[in-house]
Amino acid sequence: MNIVLFEPEMPMNTGNIGRTCVATNTRLHLIEPLGFKLNEKAVKRAGLDYWDKLDVTVYSDFQDFLDRNPGAKIYMATTKAPKTYTDVEYEPDCYIMFGKESAGIPEEILVEHKENCVRIPMWGDIRSLNLSNSVAIVLYEALRQNGFEKMNMEGHLHRLHWKDEV
């Protein structure tokens, strides 16, 4: 899987998303300009000690991203989409793109990819969810659809303390 962040502005969100990408063996693609420097403490603090394990690529702009990923199947998460993120079937090597926190993905890009635009349903007049939460929601649906390939599917308790109730 691939997560694409179009001009992300907040280092904590990108750090959190980076940590999610490491935990899911997902590549992270960052399209400039970024609203921060990648070496900022806030990015690394949110990513904890996982940032050095992250597979991340930075692009100068959207065209650079397209040029370096020819033929990429790109789903675009936007509040403007008519269908939800559960209405599509995600390919194992697809790209899921999210826009910057303040404005989302520009409409001129969305129009060119309207058949692959998806949304997360929300109640009422809420404008949007937090970017890192949105990435986790859509990414985990895509991973679920692909059988959580090569992911740990079982946890193990180290100590069990069960009381028999009478």
Per the annotation, where are the binding residues for S-adenosyl-L-methionine?
A: 99, 120, 128
Q: By CB neighbour count within 10 A (0-12 exposed, 13-18 middle, 19+ buried), where does 66 fall?
A: middle
The two counts, helices (H) then strands (E), for the chain are 5, 6
Closest CA to 1 of 27, 19, 40: 27
**What's the Rg (C-alpha) of the chain?**
17
State the Cα–Cα distance between residues 166 and 155, nearest whole angstrom.
29
Residue 65 to residue 32: CA distance in whole angstroms? 10
Angle between helices 131-145 and 11-24 (to 10 degrees): 20
Per-residue DSSP letter, 61: S
Residue 51: count of CB within 10 angstroms of its CB? 18
Annotated binding residues, written as ranges, equal 99, 120, 128
